[in-house]
Homo-oligomer: A and B are copies of this chain.
Amino acid sequence: MIYISFSNILSKSIGMKNGISESKFNSLCTKNQPLVQEVFRAKNKDGYDFLNLPNNTSIVRKIKKFVDEQAKNKWQKIVVLGIGGSALGTIAANSALNSGHERHKLHVLDNIDPDYISDFLENINISKTLFVVISKSGSTVEPMALYGLVKEKLADKFPNNYQKHFVFITDPKKGLLRKIAKEEGITAFDISPKIGGRFSVLSSAGLVPLALAGVDIGALLRGAREMREAIKKMKSAKNPALTLALSQFFMDIKRGKAMTVLMPYSSKLSRFSDWYRQLLAESIGKNKKTGPTPINALGTTDQHSQLQLYAEGPNNKLIIFFRILRHKSDPKLGDIMPKELSYLNDKKLSNILDAAYVGTAESLTAKKRPNLTVEVPKVDAKNLGALFMLFEFQVALLGLMYKVDAFNQPGVEHGKQITKKLLSK
């Protein structure tokens, strides 16, 4: 079971100036427990529909059937055209769960950089590629521009059956992609209009490309369901979503920790931090005075990049570590190192990685820098599904704590209008 260790935010570890007393933290958790129920009660409201996604086992069957049908096409590449919430969850799950050939089968084109796109398209066999176009509205500029580019190439090459190279994921009724799907006979899956992009990884938007890349999407949903039920049941500081949300809220509002660093000691979870960056930034970053800025980091890599700042720069961050308890493979060093490094002899890489985590967490604690640890039994589909649900729920709680609408993003409209006006000239 995923477990949150929060002793390094307590005043007994880091003092009262930067920490919180254990009794105060417990009483805050108890006082805020009703917010958990408030989220569950809202489950049929727009946005909150993310809570219901893990129940949708019929979509799993439908997607599996689609994937089976596609087997005959022997796709070499599955290429997602999507950005933001239509990209980051898929990237996170592909990085966490796939390796080697499988991992490199799935690509997500989440930018329109000219060199990046032309380089990519020149280096794949487009005849052996399935494009998954994802946009809820069907009007997102980046994926639609790429769809236009790719469609021209495909229609040129296969005037009669370019359609089979596409699958769309979009609104069930409205928007441009839905219209094109109907007119041209392209398979299209639904995203519920009640789901925001950044909460959509467990909808078709994430499940279709991930299933095409061999991910066990049933296990993803199962993990999310179990986490949701644990959050419903667990009380006070035992509740992982409540503990995470309250720590972050308290540290921002009362202790001036304006940044939340996510630092997994796991290369597999490195892109999970990018997914969470959007989730937190877009959901909570709309109150001019408060709201944490998310930062991604990676252990041990960023010990050699960011750690100096975290340890001795301004004390304005809450750091959330991920510690992985079991790894799939675990190479072991022989009795080979010279005496200066003989302490590495006969160690597994996991021993070294974990010792590095402990060293970093203890030394930051000694320097009175608040930090939490999310302990993950192992990185697999079930636990990843649980992590998606945990952090989505945590952000919904933060919305209530900060008293902001966690499900809109009004701040990006103005720039879009300027861009459109420039291009329409």
Contacts and interface: CB of A to CB of B under 8 A. Distances in A.
A291 interface: yes
B114 A327 contact: yes
A313 B285 contact: yes
Contact of A115 (B88, B99, B301, B347): B99
8 contacts: A100-B119, A141-B344, A142-B300, A148-B336, A152-B333, A176-B338, A258-B314, A289-B314
A1 interface: no
Contacts of A304: 83-85, 87, 110, 140, 142, 197, 278, 412
Given A83-B300, A293-B316, A305-B278, A113 B423 contact: no
Contact of A148 (B268, B315, B337, B422): B337
Nearest to A281: B309
Contact of A145 (B306, B317, B349, B414): B349
Contacts of A423: 343-344, 347, 351-352, 355
A359 B122 contact: no
B411 A308 contact: yes
B308 A285 contact: yes
Given A148-B336, A278-B304, 4 more contacts: A116-B267, A148-B333, A288-B315, A360-B415
Contacts of A112: 300, 349, 352-353, 356
Contacts of A334: 148, 152
Contact of A293 (B140, B309, B422): B309
Interface string A353-368: 1011011101110110
B287 A313 contact: yes
Interface of A is mostly: helix
A289 B256 CA distance: 12
A147 to B, nearest CB: 9
A341 B176 contact: yes
Contact of A268 (B113, B149, B152): B113
B152 A336 contact: yes
What class of interface size applies to chain A in its complex with B? 35 or more
A118 interface: yes
Contact of A123 (B100, B142, B310, B330): B100
Nearest to A339: B176
B317 A415 contact: no
A307 B412 contact: yes
Contact of A144 (B85, B119, B344): B344
Interface in A407-425: 409-412, 414-420, 422-424
A116 B299 CA distance: 13
Interface in A273-302: 274, 277-278, 281-282, 284-291, 293, 295-296, 298-301
B344 A313 contact: no
B308 A286 contact: yes
Interface in A231-287: 258-259, 265-268, 274, 277-278, 281-282, 284-287
A197, A338, A344, A412: residue with the most chain B Cβ atoms closer than 10 Å = A412
Contacts of A152: 333-334, 336
A12 B335 CA distance: 66
A27 interface: no
Nearest to A309: B285
